[in-house]
Structure 1
Amino acid sequence: MRATLSRHRRLLAAVLAAAAAAFGLAAARPHQRGVPVLIAAHDLPGGTILSAADVGIRTLPARAVPDGAVRRAAGRTLAGPVRRGEPLTDVRLRGGTLLDDAEPGTVATPVRLADASVVRLLHAGDRVDILAARAEGPLPARTVAAAVPVVAVPRPGPDTDEGALVVLRTGRTQAAAIARAAVDSRLSVTIVG
């Protein structure tokens, strides 16, 4: 009986020693430090000018921090709606102008779409193809500009019989093609992924 008890003690001691070694190695392993990230403190609609009450801080593992995370948000304007807890990134915020962070040669192009109700479907950040169609003639609609980003959707005025405006970020050549098409065609858009 003493031999059985002695054998179990040795086995128990070996198991405890192995567990202690495993815990010691785990404790010695360097822990990743978190990175503080600005988040939305509550659901926010697009166009909100952020205040300190709209922003919170959450610590995330470095690998979970999204590209473009911003370090300062107070006073900046949301380009679109943001959910509570969502990290704030550069693509979610508008700067002081429609062309902040734009490539050289980029212009903000106001486009009057023929159907004002279509503009209600658009949001800053959407990408659209601009289509031009003539009222007379058998010619099909043609694509004037492809996959251009929407940078602003102004509120429509009281008279929507003449369509509604949307502002796009285009190149100068695309802006000229859109202006040329608007002279003799009705403009519309398709939203692209």
Structure 2
Amino acid sequence: MPRRPPTTPAGPAPPALPWRLRLRRARRTARRVLLARRRLLAAALTGLAVLAAVRAVTPAPVPTAGVVVAAHDLPAGATIGTDDVEVRTVAATLVPPGTGPPDPGSVVGRVVAGPVGAGELLAATRLVGADLAAAGPGRTTLPVRLADAAAVDLLEVGDRVDLVAADLQGGPDASGSTVATGVDVLAVPAPEAPGAPAAGAGVGATPPGSLVVVAVDPEEVAALTQASAAGFVTFTWEAP
């Protein structure tokens, strides 16, 4: 068999480069890499700058809450059904203080005090009931029958009027006298059908006119209820 050539012993290792030379070479290599990728780095830095600017001008998320609103327009005096309400999410600042979690069942079956627009919050003060009294603290809430139903159609919830009574029998107050001033209109229920039975009466027709719910000063209650029962009561808008 042929003999393998003798192995030449390894020579001495090349001397290590001085550290200054190694550092200089590393810097040149890093510079070549940076120059080769300068466009990519510039694009990345520009993107980071734009992202930081967008975040700086983006407003913080607005707190929201769910509320029960009218699904469509509701006329005054309408009884709320399940198809008349829906839950929507709105800014929390638009929710009245003390409003609980949205519960459509809490308003179904209630009667709206005045016309309600689609999307309008069905707050307790917009519904016929004890909560209407909260709209006039320190005042007395009572229904008043105004003689002219067509005139009542001109009223809206929130109007402030003066109530005037006239004696249709030709008495001393036949010319009319103001029985309550600065009266707040809290509800304008739907007018009764002509000839409908009077509330609480077994026989007879509903008196002419329409009922409104108002808030008056306690000292005006007696004169107003007496005038409403015995005379012709109408209203005038209070001058601003």
TM-score (norm 1): 0.67
Q: Does 1:174 align with 2:174?
A: no
- Which of 171, 192, 216 lines up with 1:155 in the alignment? 192
Q: Distance in 1 between matches of 2:217 and 2:155?
A: 20
1:88-133, Cα deviation, whole Å (9 max, x unpaired): 22232122x59654646624143453x4542343355543211245
Q: Distance in 1 between matches of 2:78 and 2:232?
A: 33
Q: Which residue of 2 aligns with 1:34?
A: 64
State the 1:25 CA deviation.
6.3
State the 1:58 CA deviation.
0.9
Q: Distance in 2 between matches of 1:25 and 1:149?
A: 49
Q: Which residue identity lines up with residue 76 of structure 2 in the other structure? A: G
Q: Distance in 2 between matches of 1:88 and 1:65?
A: 11
Q: Which residue of 1 aligns with 2:86?
A: 56
Normalized per residue, the structure richer in strand is 1
Q: Percent identity?
A: 32
Q: Distance in 2 between matches of 1:44 and 1:131?
A: 30
Q: Distance in 1 between matches of 2:149 and 2:74?
A: 25
Report the RMSD for the aligned CA atoms in angstroms: 4.3
Q: Distance in 1 between matches of 2:235 and 2:44?
A: 75
Counting matched residue pairs gives: 187
Q: Which residue of 2 aligns with 1:128?
A: 161
Confirm or deny: 8 A CA contact 2:112 2:127 kept in the other structure.
yes
State the 1:52 CA deviation.
2.4
Consecutive unaligned residues of structure 2, counting only runs of 5 or more, are 1-31, 196-203
Q: Does 1:46 align with 2:92?
A: no
Q: Which residue of 2 aligns with 1:18?
A: 49
State the 1:67 CA deviation.
6.0
Q: Distance in 2 between matches of 1:182 and 1:49?
A: 26
Confirm or deny: 8 A CA contact 1:47 1:78 kept in the other structure.
yes
State the 1:54 CA deviation.
1.4
State the 1:189 CA deviation.
0.5
TM-score (norm 2): 0.56
Q: Which residue identity lines up with residue 116 of structure 2 in the other structure? A: V
Consecutive unaligned residues of structure 1, counting only runs of 5 or more, are none
